[in-house]
Structure 1
Amino acid sequence: MANPTLSWERVGKRFYRTFEGYHMQWAVHVAESHLAVAPCGGAIAVWDRTDVIRAGVARRAQIAIYSGSGRLLATMPWDLGQITGASWSVNDELMVLAQSGVARKYTDFAGNFVQLRLPEPVTHVQWLPDGFVAQSEEKWTLVTDFSSASFLQIDLPTQVLDWVAVPADPSSGRDHAVIATAESAILYTFEQKQHPLSIEPLLSLKLSPDNMWLMGQRDGQIYIYGTDTFHEEYRFDAFHNPATWVGVAAVAALEEEDSLSVLDLNSQERLTLEFENAVSIYSEVDGLRVFSDYSHDFFAPVPDVVTETFRLGSRAPSAILLNCIDLLEKKSPQANENLSVIGISALPGAVDACCVAAAAELDPRWQKKLLRAASFGKSALNLYDSTLYLDVMEKLRIANTLRSEKVGMLVTVHQMDMLGPAKVLRRLQALQCYGEAIAVARVLKCPVETVYIAWACHQIQSNVDLEDAELEQLLAATLDNVLGISYVEIAQNAFDEGRPKLARTLIDREPQAQRRVKILLRLHEHERALQVSVDSGNVDLLFYTVLSLASNAEVSLPQFYRLLGDKRTAIEAYKRLCTLQPNAKETVHKFLYQMDLVVDDINLSFTEACVEPEIEPKHMQLVTVQKRFAELKQTHFESQATAEFVALLALQKQLESEFEMPFANLSASDTVVALLNISQTNRAQKVANKFHISDKQFWWLRLRSLVSRREWTDLLEFAKSKKSPIGYLPFYEQTLQAGNLEAAGAYVDMCTNVDYKERVQMYLKTNQRDKAIELARKLKDESLVPGL
């Protein structure tokens, strides 16, 4: 391979080179067309210069969208008259402004757009990353939101020579502004503030691609100012024609349609490039794009590390290391000697320089050779951090994919870094290069699901002649092999394209119930959404679905009730949601009445009565509930239980008036305990008998009551009153737990149903050691008593 320096052009101490990009596939006459080029190798919008308003009628025109290699991506009709200008947003959305003041932002290549109309016709426009500043006869208008009809305006001064829009700078707190030159230069902000600048009255104002420098022209001279202070930094004798930035290293101007003059800002020397046809130039952050009818090339300064590596006769370590590859191919032992010449201390730097030079190359052959040189140098080092080497390999793999003729993104690695992985993938999808997008996503270790979703949506939009079943099979053949794929967006796209049947089929393939429910709700498949949420067993999802349907203005109340139908879990969810709202009782009762859920309505009334704190209204409500239960055959048990509850409340009302103490809201057992605690044993027994409290339960209640009041004599009398239905062991245990060992000991001999070993331990626990020894000796088991 010939040394690449042979094609370089030297200007002062700096070299420049032209990368031959693509032989364009388009049939565009650059000299007769307007071009809007997206930065960093993006798409190109083209419209004819002759599309003007004639005889007061706008001739129907179109805007063609091409890839960097000239592949036609889309054509969009334009019927709004003469175009003032067009540009691309940071999200690769085409922004177009007509002289009539109508502005459009195309959100995709399918022609979908948002549109706004400015208050008056415009004469000129300057573009911002997220909008534009338009000039009319009297005002500048700032637009940053195409979906809003509100915008900021400032008055236009008289006799403006030229002006430029300055993007906002969050780091300095500066908002969008305008720099205009007339007799003096002033920075106008849209906050109605003016800042005089020390700038000459200039023409052809242009910001550098990095917005760090401002260039202006006057009388064949170029003036350059820093945008931090706007003080003059450089002044050169240059061109009379409007100049364009070449990165930030040089400026260039078309002297003729086929002749480009370049001024190096460092040396102030000039270079002239001649072309076979008329060309159009567009500035990039690190170079200049050159378009003709047949080609798309990239002109840029050569980085210093590349110059040192390739320059003939260079003794830079990276140049020597690169030479080793030629020696290795010749199987010359001098390759290893060259490593000694470099030296072990300089070798890591040489490896890094070869990596950086490879990243700056657009020719894959030189990329490989430089990386081979870096790999050879790495092999001679015991310790070397390969991060840069691996990073460059990964980036070049991606960059070469992007530079392919099919994709048509003539980007440098630096431009690719500026775009970032997400935007690179979005561009590939917009270019319909899905295979390349998947390959790039895997190299970047990014999720590929979004690429497959974009591919599926494109298939739905483009295969209009396929039946739903055929299209489903086409999609399933690819998507079924993709783990974690979501069909939500694909189904939505199918619905939007007029394929509701296909959308429903695709929703059934969605594995996550939550996603299925949300898309079904969006597609107005309300019944299916509710059924999916019920079947999922996810309570949160069920509440979400029911609430969404209940608050949906498109679903009437009768329709909502029909949707709930016999879905008991959904009904319970809605009842629970209703209780969280004001006037919940009325809402739920109305709902249950409409649904003919009589038993549920009575149960709700019963619950409401139970939580009523006052005994009188609770009693009245429960009487009503009992009557309603009695009217239904299927609620016989509920009627009896409620009747007992009503009787209990009546009794408690009587006891409250009789003993002047609270009995309300106590259960039957608690009522008995309350009576026992005030020594109303007979009344307690009557209550127990009336409410079917068994003897065993009553004995337990009285036992615990006497123990809690420490009435040991009454407890012993109660134990001896008659045979205990619960035995006597509870008396012993309850008394022992209360701490009265003497009283507990009285019950040991009464516990006839325990074995002798346990009885011995009971004697010991109640300090009756003599009885424990006597029983142990009687049964000849003295080991039961310690110390014998």
Structure 2
Amino acid sequence: MAGVSVAAEWQLVYNRYYRKPEIYSMQWNVDLTRNRVSCARFGGPIAVIRDDAKIVQLFAESALRKLNIYNSAGILLSSTRWDRPGGRLVGMAWTDDQILVCVVQDGTVHRFNIRGELQEGNVSLGKECFEQNVVECVFWGNGMVCITEGFQLFCIPDFKNPISCKLADPILEELPLCMTVIEPQYTMSGNVEVLVAVNDYVLVVDEESVQQVGVGIGPLQKMVVTQDGKMLASFTHDGRLLVITTDFSRILFEHNCDSALPPEQIAWCGLHSVLLYWDDVLLMVGPHEDPVQYFYDEPVKLIPECDGVRILSNTSMEFLHIVPASTVSIFKIGSTEPAALLYDALDLFDKRSAKADENLRLIRNALPEAVEACIDAAGHEFDVARQRTLLRAASYGQAFCSHVQRDRFQEMCKTLRVLNAVRYYEIGIPLSIQQYKLLTAPVLIGRLINSQQHLVALRISEYLGLNQEVVIMHWACAKITASVSISDLSLLEILLDKLKLCKGISYAAIAAHADNNGRRKLAAMLIEHEPRSSKQVPLLLSIGEEDTALMKATESGDTDLVYLALFHIWQKSAPLEFFGMIQARPLARDLFIKYSRCYKHEFLKDFFLSTGQLQDVAYLLWRESWELGKNPMASKGSPLHSPRIKLIEKAQTLFADTKEHVFESKAAEEHAKLLRMQHELEVSTKQPIFVDSSISDTIRTCIVLGNHRAAMRVKQEFKVSEKRWYWLKVFALVTIRDWDALEKFSKEKRPPIGYRPFVEACIDADEKAEALKYIPKIADPRERAESYARIGMAKEATEAASQTKDSEFLGRLKSTFAQNASASSLFDTLRSSFPGIS
């Protein structure tokens, strides 16, 4: 049976089977003994550089060292010359983000991407590392710990934010025998803990403290912690393998390895066994005394994964891992499990044997379990033919079973198509199904595009229903970078042909990349296809397409975008160029004017002058004069009055140059004249009460102050009418209660306003006696009667009212004396004397 040959490859370690299939035959010509090698987890790339700590014969090779990066099948991805300063290469490892970290002696950390490109911003471990030299490094996930020749420990907790920190001083007299780390996610403090083997004990070092543990278990030559941070595998000086809890509370098991020579490498294979590698033998030790040996005639490199260990040699890549329970149930020699019988039933069915039906009847009740086992086993296989056979067995079983989750079968088929695609040697990412689930499809797609496998990434994204925009955008940016010799127009056609596959893609981001690569014309053409103005405008401004940016901003109607464009162009352009640009766009012009009215008067005046809008400049000058008037200094004398007058005079000149603003010109002229006279009055009277008052108030104030000559001057200068002059003077004299002057003024000539204003002014001042001097002079009997009524003289009011012979007027006048019975009777008598009045 086929199952016998499959199980023959397995090794039993205690109660678990292990297998070690060859995944790739390496496509390179690399000798691991002559090179320093670093392999990324999750089937990631392999970095290779000649080991400068070893003396090797170069043969026909160049003496210049190169950093080569291969995929897991040994196909070269990139090669870059290694000419980094700082001394010997001390440590090299891949981060979780597939960034290659290289640490040199002086503490400088160089970082490369998968294409061998040096990342910007080298990191330094600090002055102390530079002075003492780095001796050894230990890496994990996205962090690193190193020890210097001065026996000090330094740490970079996260290369995403590469800041170095010094750990507590372990107070060592010599370099430790070995080091390892417990990752921050598995410690109580949340910080990395470094296990340092010294003499016959271990020091646990973190940022704040040093703790001595495990006294008497050492000296330890090698240490490695499980991926969950709970167990420590260590090799002692007397050749024993010890597995201890990381809190050193107990020894879980130990094994005598029959060799005091420490292994070159030690690694955990999952959580259930430990691998130890010497020159020609790989020893796998389980929790009991039943180790398994694998012999190699070439050097190997152990690459721990979450579910096993990849074994890299000069010629092959193998994957050592536990055989899944579903696979054991099918292929174990002599297995009578339902899944094994279903698998055999398919084989018998293919041979057209009636025994196939017999097998199915035997497992009818367990058929769903058998189908699930075949599906699960297919997912754990690397061999495509075996995957297909197992899935056919599952499909065959499903036909006779109504209680199977058919979605599970479809999901497994989809997963295996993805895994087989990326396992292909030209892609070279040998993920197991467990690794794939842990990594997730979006991360896998990200790794594919970083290694320039855009077509595969796009097809997987489409197949899994994921967003294709990430892939297409990365491809477009990579295409722009690589297409140095292609013209902008040709490259644009190539890009648009692919970019149209993804609706809503950000053309602006691709255009920005084109601009960063010095292809400004291509960037301008790409940005034309960006539908979102909010993305278009900033990029157009950054590439110098200011006019287009302003046009797009105004077309969008978004005032924030228009202001963004305006301020950018304003800062970069000459004033006249800026004015010409905004004059043709009403929205931009109006927004500029609105902003400048509040904050940039001088610049706005320049704009109005450049466009011939003299009246608008004049209005601005006039407004500035009023703003000066609000200054507190203006009320304390005269220092700001002269500039105000000059501003108004400038405004008057500008108004005069435009035929349509004769009134404004005259008003500005008179305003300046009035302001100058008020200024002179304040100087002469030493009272800051004139400026910014009206002509009438100025005249009134002059009269109140007794400066009649100045009042007359204002009257004549501004051609104040006689009626207005009389009104102002009457009320001003009443204000200062100068009754003699008022009487004299009333007799100078017949007042053009009549005598009633005199009366009203006196009555308002509560001077009825003074009012009586002028009431008899009122010619109109109605006004005279009303005046008498206002001061309560009923008889005189009645006599004056009788002259009107108007009964309605008499009725209204009577109502003012409603509380006076004798006055009311007078009015009644008078009204009865008129004919026709009852």
Report the TM-score when normalising by structure 2.
Answer: 0.68
Q: How many Å apart are 1:73 and its aligned residue?
A: 0.9
Cα pair 2:155 2:164 within 8 Å, conserved:
no
TM alignment of 1:114-513, pairs within 5 A = 114-118=121-125, 119=127, 120=130, 121-138=133-150, 139-143=152-156, 144-145=158-159, 150-156=164-170, 157-159=172-174, 160-169=176-185, 172-183=188-199, 184-190=201-207, 192-198=208-214, 200-201=217-218, 202-218=220-236, 219-227=238-246, 231-238=250-257, 240-241=262-263, 242-257=265-280, 259-265=281-287, 267-344=288-365, 346-513=366-533
Residue 639 of structure 1: how far off its partner (Å): 5.0
Q: Counterparts of 2:116 and 2:659 in 1: how far apart (Å)? A: 64
- Structure-2 separation of matches of 1:634 and 1:95: 78
CA gap of 1:336–1:607, structure 2 versus 1, over 3 A, is: farther
Give the superposition deviation at 1:51.
Answer: 6.6
1:516 corresponds, among 510, 527, 536, to 536
- Comparing 74-83 with 503-512, greater Cα deviation is found at 503-512
- Conservation of the 8 A alpha-carbon contact between 1:629 and 1:638: no
Amino acid at match of 1:223: L
Give distance in 2, aligned partners of 1:7 and 1:432.
36
C-alpha distance in 2 between matches for 1:475 and 1:380:
51
Assess, with a 3 A threshold, how the Cα gap between structure 1 residues 276 and 186 changes in structure 2: closer, same or farther: closer
Q: Is the 8 A contact 2:10 2:20 kept in 1?
A: yes
Task: Tell me the CA shift for residue 136 of structure 1.
Answer: 0.3
Q: Deviations over 1:603-662 (max 9, x none)?
A: 678999999999xx9xx999999858834538649959999xx9xx999999xx9xxxxx
Equivalent residue, structure 2, for 1:536: 556
Q: Distance in 2 between matches of 1:486 and 1:408?
A: 31
Question: Which residue of the partner structure matches residue 105 of structure 2?
Answer: 99
The letter for the 2-side match of 1:141 is: F
Paired letter, 2:68 = A
How far apart are the structure 1 equivalents of 2:303 and 2:619?
78
The alignment partner of 2:21 has SS state of strand
- Structure 2 stretches of 5 or more lacking a match? 57-61, 635-643, 672-691, 701-838
Aligned to 1:83: 89
Per the alignment, residue 743 of structure 1 pairs with none
What is the CA–CA distance in structure 2 between the aligned matches of 1:613 and 1:128, rounded to whole Å? 72
Q: Which has the larger radius of gyration?
A: 2
CA positional deviation for 1:40: 0.6
Tell me the CA shift for residue 579 of structure 1.
Answer: 7.6
CA distance in 1, matches of 2:356, 2:367: 14
Paired residues for 1:640-719 under 5 Å: none
Give the gaps of 5 or more residues in structure 1: 658-788
- Among residues 655, 658, 661, which one is paired with 1:630 in the alignment? 655
Opposite residue 16 of structure 1, the aligned amino acid is: Y
Shift of 1:454: 1.9
* 3-state SS of 2:146 partner: strand
For residues 588-599 of structure 1, the aligned pairs below 5 Å read 589=604, 592=607
What are the superposed Cα offsets for residues 696-722 of structure 1, whole Å, 9 maximum, x if unpaired?
A: xxxxxxxxxxxxxxxxxxxxxxxxxxx
Q: Calculate percent identity across the aligned residue pairs.
A: 25
Structure 1 residues 212 and 651: CA distance shift in structure 2, 3 A: same
**Structure-2 separation of matches of 1:355 and 1:158:** 58
Query: Structure 2 counterpart of 1:633, which letter?
Result: T
Q: Distance in 2 between matches of 1:287 and 1:274?
A: 18
State the partner residue of 2:2: 2
Check conservation: 1:162, 1:181, Cα contact below 8 A.
Answer: yes
Cα distance per residue 1:352-397 (max 9 Å; x no partner): 2222212111111222222223333334343443343333222211
Pair 1:630–1:369, CA change in 2 (3 A): same
Cα distance change on mapping 1:535 and 1:223 into 2, 3 Å: same
**3-state SS in 2 of match to 1:46:** strand
1:583-622 equivalences in 2 (<5 Å) = 584=599, 586=601, 589=604, 592=607
Q: Distance in 2 between matches of 1:640 and 1:599?
A: 10
Residues 515-551 of structure 1: CA distance to partner in whole angstroms, max 9, x if unpaired? 222323333444433332223333333234345556x
Aligned length: 644
- Backbone CA RMSD of aligned residues: 4.1
Contact 1:210 1:285 in 2 (8 A): no
| Structure 2 residue identity aligned to 1:75 | S
Amino acid at match of 2:16: R
Contact 1:36-1:86 at 8 Å conserved across structures: yes
Matched AA of 2:275: A
Deviation at 1:23, TM superposition (A): 1.8
What is the deviation of 1:328?
2.8
Letter in 1 for 2:374: C
Alpha-carbon distance, 1:592 to partner = 4.6
Q: 1:216 to 1:489 in 2, by over 3 A?
A: same
d(CA) in 1 for partners of 2:568, 2:88:
48
- Residue type of the partner of 1:176? V
SS of the residue 1:447 aligns to: coil
For 2:411 and 2:500, the matched residues in 1 are separated by 33
Task: Say if 1:116 and 1:147, in contact at 8 Å, map to a contact too.
Answer: no
Residues 486-524 of structure 1: CA deviation (Å, up to 9, x unaligned) = 333333333333333323222233333222223233334
1:556–1:632 distance in 2 versus 1, CA, 3 Å: closer
Question: Paired residue for 2:776?
Answer: none
Stretch moving more, 159-168 or 17-26: 159-168
Quick check: 304-313 or 41-50, which moved more?
Answer: 304-313
CA distance in 2, matches of 1:651, 1:334: 120
Equivalents in 2 of 1:522, 1:108: separation in Å? 30
| Counterparts of 1:254 and 1:492, CA distance in 2 | 51
Instruction: Tell me the secondary structure at the aligned position of residue 70 of structure 1.
Output: coil
Deviation at 1:82, TM superposition (A): 2.0
Q: Is the 8 A contact 2:205 2:211 kept in 1?
A: yes
Q: 1:612 to 1:474 in 2, by over 3 A?
A: same
- Tell me how far 1:419 sits from its aligned partner: 1.7
1:573 maps to what in 2?
591
Secondary structure at the counterpart of residue 15 of structure 1: strand
Q: Structure 1 585/31 Cα, relative in aligned 2: closer, same or farther at 3 Å?
A: closer
Cα distance, 1:215 vs structure 2: 1.7
Asked if the contact 1:187–1:194 (Cα under 8 Å) also holds between the matched residues in 2, the reply is yes
Name the CA distance, whole Å, in 2 between partners of 1:110 and 1:613.
70
For 1:438, what is the secondary structure of its paired residue? helix
Q: Cα–Cα, structure 1 residues 43 and 636, in superposed 2: closer, same or farther, change >3 Å?
A: same
Q: Distance in 1 between matches of 2:425 and 2:606?
A: 66
3-state SS in 1 of match to 2:554? helix
